[in-house]
Amino acid sequence: MAGVPVSYYLVLSAILFTIGVIGVLIKRNPIVIFMCVELMLNAANLTFIALGRHFGQVNGQMYVIFALAVAAAEVAVGLGIIVAIFRTKETIDIDEINLLKM
């Protein structure tokens, strides 16, 4: 029985990725920008798993496992950086944090 064509998953992944890109460009709160980056990572994971299913290999899912682990590590460190910035500058408006040196 034919399931859902893989193209549908790829198109959905492209749409979600684009929504993430628009979010990164629009939002001012760096935490929400970070969340849009996570959305982009998830869209890429969906592409990996869909194509892995298409080719009948487990490699797609292996990549997703490692992408998940790396994303978790990145979120931890990134949020630590945001907390440190907020402690110094009392604002996290991304348009105010425009100098490399605080």
For other proteins, which residue of 2, 99, 100, 102 counts as binding (CB under 8 A)? 2
Amino acid at 42: N
Please give the residues from 29 up to 58 whose contact with other proteins meets the rule CB under 8 A: 29, 31-32, 34-36, 38-39, 42, 45-46, 49-50, 52-58
Q: 36 to each of 16, 56, 62, how far by Cα in Å?
A: 10, 30, 23
For other proteins, which residue of 66, 88, 98, 102 counts as binding (CB under 8 A)? 66
Shortest distance (Å) from residue 99 CB to other proteins: 19
Burial class (CB in 10 A: 0-12, 13-18, 19+), 47: buried
